[in-house]
Every structure is written in structure tokens, then in C-alpha cells.
Amino acid sequence: MKLVFDAHLDLSLNALDYNRDLRRELVEIRSGETELSDLGGRGRGVVCFPEMRRGGVGLCVGTLLAGCMKPGAVASGWNAPETAWAQTQGQLAWYRAMEEVGELSQIVDRATLADALDRWKTGESEGPIGYLLSLEGADSIRTPAHLAQSWEQGLRALGPAHYGVGRYALGHDQDGPLSERGRDLVRAMDELGMILDATHLCDRAFHDALDLFEGGVWASHSNCRALVDNPRQFSDEQIRCLVERGAVIGGALDTWMMVPGWQRGVTTPQEAGVKLEDLVDHMDHICQLAGSADHVGIGSDLDGGFGMEQTPQDVSSIAALQRLDGLLAARGYSSEDIDRILHGNFIRFLQAHLPG
């Protein structure tokens, strides 16, 4: 079993908003939600700590998520940044509690990354899962001056935008430049050494942010616009820009991002015939543009406000990520390149950009 690094998991969203005890088995979590329909994916989740371990997912990026966008979605429609900040602090408290019981260990620098790697170098450890803290959408950062407080709490990556009109940046479904407040935020990120997550930025804000930011850039969970023509995906031009910056792009398993023609809330994975292998198409497209396998990883976004109704039909558990090994090998990727895609590229990136 190979080690897997998943660069985007909304673990605290599932714990707090969905009230899921991720220490339990999937069958237990699902059975407790059979009568619930308040949120997407109820009774159809695919992520829990036991399944992460079975799939070799020993390293991940765990998110904080609380926006002030209008209109808002789950965890995204708070009416004041102070309220959104309080929500992220509750999410952080859950991560701390999971550290106390030995389920997670936080990665904040190269030393803690090395410790997590040592525990999971075989991909079969039963120890804590190493997680790096990221904020999806910057709305909960009350002012750029408050960002240092989040850094002290271990926040190491930040995506300025999510959906809609954010306080700092426009999401991918909007159009416009990076605001002056957003530019101040990006400058503050640069000063701290925080990673810029380019995911979800609209096209103009994407280029503005990359022009301004001098530090490490990645895209935690994005696919290719050439294969699915939607502004949520990256154009070939954007992918080339990211490659030039040494970025790693994590492929996402939200089905509407994987195959064309998907109607959200209508199409089913079975009707569309979408499978895990469709993600390999996106990965391969990036590799062909880059001329190597050095800029592709996994950012599954599994259980990111949806469940099996919007997940490839052959993915009933996050442990299915382990099958990417064979799928990539069948496309002619070498064992070394597969290791880079499954974990090596994001690890190399962190070794270069985390504080020493």
C-alpha cells in the first residue's frame, strides 16, 4: 500500500456541521443519518479516520471553512466576519481534540512534517494522521492584521476566495480583479510565509494574486477546463502559470468537475458513468501540459458538502484513492511518477515552503 497525501478534506465541516464522529466506521456514520435530509450527502458519506488509514491516507490538508458570501451555502453565509471567525475557532477546537485523542497530528513546519512522514512511511501506520491546516475562503479573517493570529495557531495555507462575492476576493463564479483589501491580505500572507491556494479564484483575481504574491502557490482541489468547460476548472493558460510557479494541483473527485454535461442535483454517477479513472484524465492532461508528473497530486474534496450522490460510482470510501496506483500504472506512469502524484509532489512542495 502506497502513502497517499490528500490536499483537501473538509474534516471539521463534517464533524461540526454534519455532527459526524469521524472515529467511527462509515456504516455507523451512515446509519445515524438515515432519517436526515438537511444537508447534501446525508447517509452517503465516504470519509472517516478508519477508512483513511485503510487507504493509506496518512497525510492531508484539513480545512477551516466559514464564509460571509452572499448568497451563502453550508458554513458560508455568516452575517459578520467576527461570527465566521468564531466558527473557525470552533473547528480548530475540534482538530485540537482529535490531536489529544491521538487521531491527528498537526504539521506546522518541516520538523513536524518529517515526524508525520516517519510514522507513515510504510503507508500502514495506525498512528495519528498528519494534517496541515488550511482556510478555504478568507472571509473569517477579520482584517489582514489579524492573519498573524491564525499563523500562530498553525494555519499554513489560505485560499482568498470560495464561491460568490467574498470579503477579500471573488469566487470562480464571479468576474473581477483582486480587491485592494484582497491585495493587502495577499501581502500579509507573503510576509508570514503562508501558502497561497489559487483554487476558487475567478480568472482575473487568479492572475492578480499570482502577480502580487512571491511565495509558494498551490491549487488544493481543481481540475481542467479543457475537459470540463466551467470556470471552476483551470484553463490551460492557468495551469501553465501554476507550473511555472512550481505549484502542485490536486485533482478533485466532485463528479460535476470530472465529466462534462453534469447537472447538479439531477445527474447521478451511474447515469453519467463517472468513475475514479475519469480523474486520471485530468491528471494526465496536466502532466502533458507540464511535460512531467511533478505538478499533480490529489485534493479529493470527498464529503465536501456532498456524498456518494456526487462521487464516482466506484468510490464508496476514501480508501478507493489507493486504486489510483493501478489506474496510473495502466496509463504507462512509472512507479516513481505514481509516488510523486500520490504523495511526493505535495511533500516536496511543503519541504520547500514550510518554515524550518
pLDDT tens digits, 282-298: 999 999 999 999 999 99
Instruction: Give the residue from 92, 89, 90, 87 showing the smallest Cα distance to 104.
Output: 92
pLDDT of residue 129: 97
Gap between the Cα atoms of 189 and 144, Å rounded: 9
pLDDT tens digits, 57-101: 999 999 999 999 877 666 678 999 999 999 999 999 999 999 999
pLDDT tens digits, 201-237: 999 999 999 999 999 999 999 999 999 999 999 999 9
- Note the pTM of the prediction, 2 decimals: 0.97
The per-residue pLDDT of the chain, averaged, comes to 96
Q: What percent of the chain has pLDDT over 90?
A: 93
Bond prior to 260 in cis (omega within 30° of 0): no
pLDDT tens digits, 152-180: 999 999 999 999 999 999 999 999 999 99
| Tally of CB atoms within 10 A around 184 | 15
User: How is the chain split into domains, by residue range?
Assistant: 4-15+50-353
Q: Which three cell numbers stand for residue 130?
A: 498528519
Gap between the Cα atoms of 217 and 353, Å rounded: 9
Q: Are 221 and 162 in contact (CB under 8 A)?
A: no
In total, the chain counts a number of residues equal to 356
Confidence of residue 116 (pLDDT cuts 50, 70, 90): very high
Superfamily of chain region 4-15+50-353: Metal-dependent hydrolases (3.20.20.140)
Confidence of residue 18 (pLDDT cuts 50, 70, 90): very high
Q: Within the chain, how many helices (H) and strands (E) appear?
A: 14, 9
pLDDT of residue 74: 64
Ramachandran sector of residue 31 (left: φ over 0; alpha: ψ -120 to 50; beta: rest): alpha
